[in-house]
Structure 1
């Protein structure tokens, strides 16, 4: 197949018949255009893929940062809780120290109310909340160390001064009522068997106050098997007293109580047949007959 082209000029029409190479030129141009288009299309696809990958990477980094922030906040919250507990315990120790120092007229030598000074170099750029939290914990440690030393010295001084009036156990754990069961062997009111009763019972009206027979520190305030709602007070020198079957308690563990303070309300909780207080005196962890303490004169 051949193609003839007529070109009109001033001198008439000129006949031109292109060769086969000229006929291939449009095909080559179309092929070149198609190649360029495909090349650019591939470049655009690669660029879009890179953009998508970068977006996914940023989203993953954002997710990791959020997770790290959440974990950090949880750790800070846990540390804050620990510090709060330490502060509560330390406050209780300080209150005990102040009371002991006051009772022994040594408040001018032992100051449990002042804060312990803390300090240190703080690097720039550190997290303010975490830095403050660490400073608080350092302060608490310093206060605990200081107070432990003072309490140890105070205990030694107090033991040498022989101030036992407040810790002297005497009297009954109630203001109104009567002795309903003595210490020793008795017929158990529940099973009728001969059993050992390791305390004395004082019966009375439900709701009357149960009082401490000596000053000391509350070491138990809650339910105990058989005793119902129980209060136990440590008076030092290996002596403790227990007050059982209460309807409600007026103290908590760690409280410092004075002789005659109301510590509970009489009830009939636990293994009980009616409103009364089961009263025990323990020496070295063993129950002894409380009656000699009940009927002896106040110190």
Structure 2
């Protein structure tokens, strides 16, 4: 195949017949244009992808900053709560301590208005993190709570009660009711077998008041296997009392209770056949016959 081109000039018509290489020129130009367009298109897509990636990275960084800000605000709110709680507890402890110091004329030995003196040599340590600080403050708040309970016990004893009379275990754990099962061997109401009953049962009306037979500190207030809802009170000198099968509890662990104070409502929770109080007296962790405590005169 050949192509002839006629060119009109001043001297007439000139005939030009291009070779095969000239015929390939349009195709070469088309291929070059297509390649150039594809190259530019690829560069544009690459730049657009890079810009989109950078935008997503900025969005992720912004999200991380917002999350960090939220976490910091939450931790600061927690710190504020801890500080307020400890301030309230410390105010109470200082007031109780000052009162006790005055009552026993110990102001010259205990000055609760002055800064506590601490000191000593110290080595360079690692910086503390916020999480560790919160954990330390949580432990400190727990210690303050325990000390507050103990100080409250001292306040109750020194301000309102005689300690010997308060800790003297005597009387019944109910104001109304009757003895339904004594301490000792009996036929188990569930199995019928001969078993040891390590307490005294006082039957009565569901919801009736259950009373502390002596003052002390509550060491258990919740469900215990077999006992149902149980209250246990430590009276000191290795003596404790238990009150089982309650319908509801009026105290929590750490509470200081007085002799005759309501600690629960009679019920039939746990291993029970009906509303009653299972009353135990423990000496050095071992149940003993409560009957001699129930019928002895108050100290």
Query: TM (normalized to structure 2)?
Result: 0.66
Q: Which of residues 25, 33, 51 in structure 1 aligns to 2:48?
A: 51
C-alpha distance 75-63 of structure 1, shift in aligned 2 (>3 A): same
Alpha carbons 2:93, 2:151 under 8 Å: kept? no
In structure 2, the residue matched to 1:255 is 255
Stretch moving more, 146-155 or 239-248: 146-155
Task: Summarize the Cα distance change of 1:166–1:228 in structure 2 as closer, same or farther, 3 Å threshold.
Answer: same
RMSD over aligned Cα, in angstroms? 4.9
Question: Is the partner of 1:47 in helix, strand or coil?
Answer: helix
Q: 1:5 corresponds to which residue? A: 7
Question: Is residue 31 from structure 1 mapped to residue 28 from structure 2 by the alignment?
Answer: yes
Aligned residues: 271
Q: What does 1:202-241 correspond to in 2, within 5 Å? A: 202-241=202-241
Q: Indicate how the Cα distance of structure 1 residues 236 and 274 shifts in structure 2: closer, same or farther if over 3 A, else same.
A: same
TM-score, structure 1 normalization: 0.66
Write the deviation string for residues 54-93 of structure 1: whole angstroms up to 9, x where unpaired: 414543664576478669967986x799979989997998
1:182-217 deviation line (CA, Å, top 9, x unaligned): 222233333443322211122222221001111222
2:245 corresponds to:
245
- CA 1:257–1:83 in structure 2 vs 1: closer, same or farther (change >3 Å)? farther
Q: 1:14 maps to what in 2?
A: 12
Whole-angstrom distance in 1 between the partners of 2:297 and 2:242? 20
**Measured at CA, do residues 85 and 214 of structure 1 come closer, stay the same or move farther in structure 2, by a change above 3 Å?**
farther
Change (3 A) 1:97 1:282: farther
Answer whether contact 1:92 1:254 (CA < 8 A) is retained. Answer: no
Asked if the contact 2:89/2:144 (under 8 Å) is kept, the reply is no
Instruction: Structure 2 unaligned segments of length 5 or more: list them.
Output: 113-128, 157-161
Per-residue CA deviations over 1:124-156 (Å, capped at 9, x if unaligned) read xxxxxx96x776655555556678789999999
Correspondence 1:271 to 2:260: no
Residue 117 (structure 1) aligns with: none
